[in-house]
């Protein structure tokens, strides 16, 4: 897919590339005129009683060559290098878009630091390969061809071939070295990913590290990764460093041969001094792109290594599929689950078994169960984070697979267990950066989630900037901001996945009371470990081992004396009748 993106990009920008190549060819041609004009000028100056006018004309030619080179070089750099920057931006945008479409299963197997490396280092390497490297290659080829032809014309083909004889050997060795550079650069990128991931983990977990006095241990681990990074870079540099000295040796041999043969030809009068100087000028001109070959090969091999890495990501399947002509309206009505079985991709173990459930529109469902009983998995399936078979989950009688993914998820307000807040203002976190909400709606959502007073205690109020992942607020405050974010949307279905675990019972009851009022007539699903969070639900189900073990209202389940009753008695004293009245 990554290669297809490149092909499509080149097709879309073919006109600018064609114009850029024309400018590049023109620049290369104009550059090769300079040695000839310089040689002619030397010959004019060697003649007794030369005509100064001829020298001035040649000086004018040199100025015109310089101006022409400047204009044409500026033109191709703007177009070719500019397109490379656009390619970088396009690739990064498509990669980020692909990241957004990938399922949670993909992220369960990938490290954050590795993905960051793809978006920064690898895409930059591709830009360098398909921008400056290609431009330098085309420019070098044209300069070399014209320069070699001009050298042969200035003296003869046999001397030209003799002077350039060492170069094919150097080029052959360069391509051999380039393959080795490509392998070593892949290792460099992998080590960069590991370092990025280690830094990211340490910054996010700094409180835990300090609490367990693990600073020295983490520094030691980082130094090991840093040493590996240095070693891989040195391994690559050790190989790529052969290129420039190798080319310089070859050109030194070429210049020696040229001085011996060409110098004797000047002394014998077979060629003029101007032709000899022009010949050396062309040889020097060839040296520049040949020396660049080492850099070009290194960059191109790095780019191809990075492109292969990017292809691994672009070829990762977007697991969640949509049917053609999917329904674009919100999911409304009752939620019905019929004979639902589910296993995570790559596993045969059934996480959910024979789930049959109906939630009438406007009702509240409470879900209780031990850790690992399948509570979060069930709501993840309602959000279509994973694929489910047809005729298993219905919203308003319509199969979940018939809905457009965006329309389906827009119907939900979801507060997960792992509450995430952004490094932005509290207001932006509640609005989720959408400017469609009024200040009054933000305040109302904050009040209903019982975070309003805490917000107003900050000197900046709703404009208070939260640190990364909410580092400057408590866990309970993060939960309440997340609840406000869900409430402000006024969704058809609200899901609280253990979203009240970090608040005290008094605040919990007030939030639940507010939710009952503002969400009258709309469906809510509350997952909790504390019975106090689901006690007022219209129906409560108890999950155990992926099955619905018990169901009913709070009083009905207590009277049954089953698992729910055991959980209830473990959380409340038997004589406490507050929750049974």
**Residue 81 pLDDT > 90, yes or no?**
no
Global model pTM greater than 0.95: no
Least confident range from 149-158, 460-469, 486-495: namely: 149-158
**Residue 56 pLDDT > 50, yes or no?**
yes
What is the reported pLDDT for 573? 57
For residues 293 and 540, which has the higher predicted lDDT (pLDDT)?
A: 540
Least confident range from 57-61, 93-97, 174-178: namely: 174-178
Which range, 77-86, 100-109, 468-477, 570-579, has the best average confidence (pLDDT)? 77-86
Average pLDDT over residues 304-332: 81
pLDDT band with cut points at 50, 70 and 90 for residue 574: very low
Which range, 38-52, 205-219, 493-507, has the best average confidence (pLDDT)? 493-507
What is the reported pLDDT for 358? 93
pLDDT band with cut points at 50, 70 and 90 for residue 17: confident
Average pLDDT over residues 160-169: 76
* Pair of tokens at residue 480: 């309440």
Regarding the domain with residue range 323-411+530-581, which homologous superfamily does it belong to in the CATH classification? Answer: P-loop containing nucleotide triphosphate hydrolases (3.40.50.300)
Write the pLDDT tens digit of every residue in 264-278. Answer: 877 777 777 777 777
Q: Which region, left, alpha or beta, applies to residue 333 given φ > 0 means left and ψ of -120 to 50 means alpha? A: left
Size of the chain, expressed as the number of residues it contains? 581
What is the reported pLDDT for 47? 67
Start-end ranges of CATH 1.20.1560.10 in the chain? 2-314
Average pLDDT over residues 72-92: 87
Alpha helices in 315-355 (DSSP H): none
Domain formed by 2-314, architecture: Up-down Bundle (1.20)
Write the pLDDT tens digit of every residue in 458-482. Answer: 888 999 888 777 777 888 888 899 9
Start-end ranges of CATH 3.40.50.300 in the chain? 323-411+530-581
Average pLDDT over residues 535-553: 92
Task: Say how far apart CA 264 and CA 255 lie, in whole Å.
Answer: 14
Q: Smallest Cα–Cα separation from 116: which of 225, 218, 192, 3?
A: 192
Task: Say how far apart CA 528 and CA 369 lie, in whole Å.
Answer: 8
What is the reported pLDDT for 159? 75
Going by their DSSP bridges, the two strands 493-497 and 523-528 should be labelled as parallel
For residues 234 and 174, which has the higher predicted lDDT (pLDDT)?
A: 234
What is the reported pLDDT for 48? 63
**Residue 578 pLDDT > 50, yes or no?**
no
CA 280 from centroid of its chain's CA atoms: 49
* Pair of tokens at residue 63: 């100025």
**Residue 13 pLDDT > 90, yes or no?**
no
Q: What contacts 24+ positions apart, CB below 8 Å, involve 254-257?
A: 254/163, 254/164, 254/165, 254/166, 254/167, 254/283, 255/280, 255/283, 257/162, 257/163, 257/165
190 and 206 Cβ atoms separated by less than 8 Å? no
* Pair of tokens at residue 190: 């992998």
Q: Which region, left, alpha or beta, applies to residue 469 given φ > 0 means left and ψ of -120 to 50 means alpha? A: left
CA 288 from centroid of its chain's CA atoms: 36
* Pair of tokens at residue 173: 């060795």
Q: How much of the chain exceeds pLDDT 90, in percent?
A: 19
**Residue 579 pLDDT > 50, yes or no?**
no
């Amino acid at each position: 897919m990554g290669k297809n993106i490149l092909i499509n990009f080149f097709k879309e920008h073919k006109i600018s590339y064609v114009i850029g190549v024309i400018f590049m060819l023109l620049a290369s041609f104009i550059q090769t005129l300079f040695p000839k004009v310089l040689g002619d000028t030397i010959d004019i100056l060697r003649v007794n009683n030369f005509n100064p006018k001829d020298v001035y004309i040649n000086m004018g030619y040199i100025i015109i060559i310089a101006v022409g080179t400047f204009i044409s070089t500026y033109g191709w750099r703007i177009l070719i290098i500019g397109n490379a920057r656009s390619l970088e931006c396009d690739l990064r945008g498509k990669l980020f878009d692909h990241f957004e479409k990938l399922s949670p299963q993909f992220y369960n197997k990938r490290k954050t630091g590795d993905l960051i490396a793809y978006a920064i280092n690898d895409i930059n390497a591709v830009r360098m390969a398909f921008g400056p490297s290609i431009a330098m290659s085309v420019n070098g080829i044209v300069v070399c061809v014209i320069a070699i032809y001009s050298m042969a014309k200035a003296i003869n083909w046999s001397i030209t071939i003799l002077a350039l004889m060492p170069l094919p050997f150097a080029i052959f060795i360069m391509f051999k070295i380039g393959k080795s550079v490509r392998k070593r650069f892949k290792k460099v990128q992998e080590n960069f990913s590991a370092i990025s991931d280690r830094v990211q983990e340490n910054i996010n977990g700094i409180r835990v590290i300090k609490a367990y006095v693990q600073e020295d241990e983490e520094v030691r681990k980082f130094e090991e990764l840093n040493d590996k990074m240095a070693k891989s870079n040195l391994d690559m540099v050790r190989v790529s460093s052969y290129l420039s000295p190798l080319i310089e040796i070859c050109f030194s041999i070429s210049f020696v041969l040229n001085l011996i043969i060409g110098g004797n030809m000047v002394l014998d009068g077979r060629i003029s001094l101007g032709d000899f100087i022009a010949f050396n000028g062309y040889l020097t001109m060839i040296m520049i792109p040949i020396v660049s070959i080492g850099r070009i090969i290194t960059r191109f091999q790095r780019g191809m290594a990075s492109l292969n890495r990017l292809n691994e990501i672009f070829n990762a399947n977007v697991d969640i599929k949509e049917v053609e002509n999917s329904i674009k309206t919100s999911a409304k009505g009752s939620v019905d689950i019929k004979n639902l079985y589910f296993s995570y991709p790559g596993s045969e173990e059934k996480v959910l078994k024979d789930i049959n459930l109906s939630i009438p529109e406007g009702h509240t469902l409470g879900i209780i169960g031990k850790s690992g009983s399948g509570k979060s998995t069930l709501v993840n399936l309602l959000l279509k984070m994973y694929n489910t078979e047809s005729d298993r989950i219905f919203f308003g009688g319509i199969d979940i697979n018939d809905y457009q993914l965006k329309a389906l998820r827009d119907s939900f307000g979801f507060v997960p267990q792992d509450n995430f807040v952004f490094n932005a203002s509290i207001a932006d976190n509640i609005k989720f950066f959408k400017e469609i909400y009024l200040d009054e709606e933000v305040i109302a959502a904050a009040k209903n989630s019982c975070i309003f007073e805490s917000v107003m205690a900050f000197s900046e109020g709703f404009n208070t900037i939260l640190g990364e992942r909410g580092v400057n607020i408590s866990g309970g405050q993060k939960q309440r901001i997340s609840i406000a974010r869900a409430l402000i949307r006024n969704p058809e279905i609200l899901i609280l996945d253990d979203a009240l675990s970090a608040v005290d019972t008094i605040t919990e009851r007030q939030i639940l009371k507010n939710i009952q009022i503002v969400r009258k007539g709309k469906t809510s699903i509350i997952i909790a470990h504390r019975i106090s969070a689901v006690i007022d639900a219209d129906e409560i189900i108890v999950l155990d081992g992926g099955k619905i073990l018990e169901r009913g209202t709070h009083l009905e389940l207590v009277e049954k004396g089953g698992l729910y009753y055991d959980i209830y008695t473990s959380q409340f004293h038997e004589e406490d009748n507050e929750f049974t009245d």
